[in-house]
Amino acid sequence: MSVNLEKYGELLAELKNKGITLVAVSKTKPVDSIRELYEEGQRDFGENYVQELLEKKEVLPEDIRWHFIGHLQSNKAKYLVPFVHLIHGVDSIRLLKEINKQAEKTGRIQSVLLQVHIAQEETKFGLDEDELSGFMNDHHELASMKNILISGLMAMASFTDNEQQLRNEFGQLKKLFDQYRNLNLFNCQFTVLSMGMSNDYSIAIEEGSNLVRIGSLIFGKRIG
């Protein structure tokens, strides 16, 4: 099988020391690979596609904490909210409201992260700083969403080897995290700073990440 257990062990040792959560990103990978890692004790897994996640969840152990890290369309929130542990990519009020509505129906409090656009590429999703500020300062609107818990921020950096640029982008997200972490709102309690992937996680950690999303280092390169 393609799971790199040696790399996984090294990663875990490094992250555990620092109190950092490892989300194993299993998108496009078979359930057997997820099971193999599960048997090593891994419980946090990340998926990007709703349909794929629903199919995998069906046949895998109940105590897996599923992280939805893809771009979520509002009309699909209803499929995830009944069970998903953390939705990382919330980038609009409309989506947040829909998640709240579905969470209310299911009687859950849904934890989410707001996705911020820090990369230079236009293609990546996320709120820019002004949008985030508008969002976080509308306390009335936020407080009306009683079935949401905003647990922090998430971002993807630019796809580059330029270390300084990565540092700047991650540093920018950390600054925003610190700026909003002490908001005194019942449903806004920043504890999670989700940044860093296979290629850039070391820099993300140096810049303050406490949750990394790692796929290809553990599961091998994805095709397509």
Ligand X SMILES: *Cc1c(COP(=O)(O)O)cnc(C)c1O
Query: Which residues contact ligand X (rule: CB under 6 A)?
Result: 25, 27, 48, 69, 156, 197-199, 213-217
Closest to ligand X by CB, 48 vs 110, is 48
Q: How far is CA 175 from the centre of its chain?
A: 18
Task: State the minimum distance, in angstroms, from the CB of residue 34 to ligand X.
Answer: 14
d(CA 190, CA 152): 4
Task: State the minimum distance, in angstroms, from the CB of residue 146 to ligand X.
Answer: 28
Contact 11, 41 (CB under 8 A): no
d(CA 78, CA 200): 32
Task: State the minimum distance, in angstroms, from the CB of residue 144 to ligand X.
Answer: 28
Closest to ligand X by CB, 77 vs 217, is 217
d(CA 128, CA 176): 11
Closest to ligand X by CB, 27 vs 65, is 27
Strands 65-68 and 21-25: unpaired
Contact 168, 174 (CB under 8 A): no
Task: State the minimum distance, in angstroms, from the CB of residue 156 to ligand X.
Answer: 5
Closest to ligand X by CB, 48 vs 210, is 48
